[in-house]
Chain A
Amino acid sequence: MTERTLSFQYSTLQQERETVTLGMWAFLATEVLFFGALIAAYFSYRIWFGAEFIAAAKLTKVALGTANTAVLLTSSACMAMAVTTHEAGARRSPVLWLIATALLGVAFILIKGTEWFLEYQEHLVPALNFDLGRRGGVAEIFFMFYFCATGLHALHLLIGICLVSWLAFAIGTDRLKPGSTARLIGLYWHFVDIVWIFLFPLIYLAGRNG
């Protein structure tokens, strides 16, 4: 095993942990604003266009959306297991939990892709094949929001899958510097989960009882 040292700018592991955790939360606050603006747009559309906007939400695939939420929540639990076992000093179990996390992330993207494909077949993709005559302009605005929100979320998840895969490789091959890298990637992964926790009811559950 090669000798690995803490990054030069820190004097203790504790100092490193406090510094990088705070830095990560500052970054996540900017991400809250990024997705938050999108959600504020959703609320203004929903108030402004009312029933027509909510009716368009009924065209989304609620069963696939619910399954995907369960997949993502489970992936977060796996990520938490990976960080906990890694910080307890285990070598093998964090790698396995990280692989499970990444695979669940891939499963989410595949289910999401299936939904997008079904929506393409139903002529619901704005600027590509949206059936304006049948669905109306307000529905097009809903689907514009839908594709922006789910697309940006999927992009964040893809970045997360890359980070988690790299982390699994780094821990597995014993190349990870001592410090809080695993914890930071965990924070990012859980944040992407939180974004979905809010997108799910707004996109899939609106207007189901009407």
Chain B
Amino acid sequence: MTARTIWRCWLALIILLSLTTGLAFVPLGTATLFVSLGIAVTKALIVLLFFMELKASSALVRVFAAAGFFWLMIMIALTTADYTHRTDQRVPLDQVR
């Protein structure tokens, strides 16, 4: 990896950081979460592919790197699917105490 690549990645990361912070204050409704997560995934990919050199790594290393994130997607997808489809009433926390 060349110094030029590293500082280009850094610049992209800082621009994305400014973008995500700026967009957080724009009224986008429910899209806000997905915009900020989309930018976070882009930033993470820059770090993974260039700083962590997955772009130049062997297929085996890439599979190992992907495995953890793949499992995480399953866990988050199924957990959120469960919670978004619950219909029972939530008892106000402050009354429980």
Contact = CB atoms under 8 A, between A and B. Distances in A.
Interface of A: 18, 21-22, 25-26, 28-33, 36-37, 39-40, 43-44, 47-49, 62, 66, 69-70, 73-74, 76-77, 79-81, 84, 132, 136-138, 141, 186-187, 190-191, 193-194, 197-198, 200-201, 204-206, 208-210
Contacts, number: 145
A2 B85 CA distance: 66
Contact of B39 (A74, A191, A201, A204): A201
A137 B24 CA distance: 25
A73 B17 contact: yes
Interface in B62-97: 64-65, 67-69, 71-72, 75-76, 79-80, 82-84, 86, 90, 92-94, 96-97
Contacts of B90: 48-49
Interface size class of B (residues with CB under 8 A): 35 or more
B68 A28 contact: yes
Nearest to A191: B52
Given A33-B71, A44-B80, A197-B47, A21 B10 contact: no
A205 B10 contact: no
A138 B58 CA distance: 46
